[in-house]
């Protein structure tokens, strides 16, 4: 929970460092030396006062519980750091994805009025696409996919790389 949001979310642990190292050690079940070691490995980052005293938050304690789970699963400290980083990144990506999905839904709602008019002033449903919008005459079937592919410019190689190609000047085939 970000500091300054003004309200406490019971689902989200507090980020405010309030526990000293001895209290955090007692609450987490780890010794003080282990907490210092985990900080050295970058697994936790307690808040530091101006005097340098460590202050652990609810978030730090939740992270220590996750570290304990990973230790019980047999993961070493470097592996734990990687797992925690990946979990954090996954959470960030999921939040971004939810935000983007909401933005897309809003944009679709703004773009898709109940009916639209085409260039002739005729009302039509937005779900029905006009052949003229696609570049072919009304009633005409679209060209086969092979005819719509771009061809390389003269002197350029094709971008396809699934077959053997001739290496210029050697006369030998090269597989890609």
- Give the pLDDT confidence of 143-172 residue by residue, as tens digits: 555 444 555 566 665 555 555 555 555 555
pLDDT number for residue 138: 55
Domain annotation for the chain: domains and CATH numbers: 12-111 (1.10.1660.10)
pLDDT number for residue 108: 92
pTM, rounded to two decimals: 0.54
Question: 24 is written with which tokens?
Answer: 């955090």
- Residue range 1-22: mean pLDDT, rounded: 63
Q: Would you say residue 133 has pLDDT above 80?
A: no
pLDDT bucket at 4, cuts 50 / 70 / 90: very low
**Spatial separation of the C-alpha atoms in residues 70 and 98, rounded to whole Å:** 28
- The closest of 99, 101, 10 to 62, measured between CA atoms, is 10
- pLDDT (tens digit per residue) in 22-42: 999 999 999 999 999 999 999
- pLDDT (tens digit per residue) in 71-107: 999 999 999 999 999 999 999 999 999 999 999 999 9
**Spatial separation of the C-alpha atoms in residues 18 and 55, rounded to whole Å:** 5
Q: Would you say residue 10 has pLDDT above 70?
A: no
Non-local (6+) Cβ contacts of 55 within 8 A are 17, 18, 19, 20, 46, 47, 48, 49
pLDDT bucket at 14, cuts 50 / 70 / 90: confident
Q: What is the mean pLDDT of the chain?
A: 76
- pLDDT (tens digit per residue) in 104-131: 999 999 987 755 555 665 655 555 555 4
What's the Cα-to-Cα distance from 60 to each of 40, 76, 77, rounded to whole Å? Answer: 14, 19, 16
What's the Cα-to-Cα distance from 121 to each of 58, 94, 114, 118, 134, rounded to whole Å? Answer: 62, 43, 15, 5, 18
């Amino acid at each position: 929970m970000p500091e300054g949001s003004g309200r406490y979310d019971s689902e989200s642990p507090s980020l405010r460092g309030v526990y000293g190292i001895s209290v955090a050690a007692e609450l987490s079940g780890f010794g003080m030396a282990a907490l210092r070691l985990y900080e050295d490995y970058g697994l936790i980052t307690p808040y530091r006062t101006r005097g340098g005293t460590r202050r652990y938050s609810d978030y730090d304690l939740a992270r220590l519980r996750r570290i304990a789970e990973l230790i019980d699963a047999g993961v070493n400290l470097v592996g734990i750091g990687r797992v925690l980083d990946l979990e954090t990144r996954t959470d960030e990506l999921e939040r971004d994805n939810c935000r983007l999905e909401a933005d897309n839904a809003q944009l679709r709602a703004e773009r898709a009025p109940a009916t639209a008019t085409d260039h002739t002033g005729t009302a039509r449903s937005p779900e029905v696409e006009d052949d003229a919008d696609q570049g072919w005459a009304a009633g005409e079937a679209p060209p086969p996919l092979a005819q719509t592919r771009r061809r390389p410019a003269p002197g350029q190689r094709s971008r396809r790389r699934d077959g053997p190609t001739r290496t210029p000047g050697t006369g030998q085939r090269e597989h890609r």
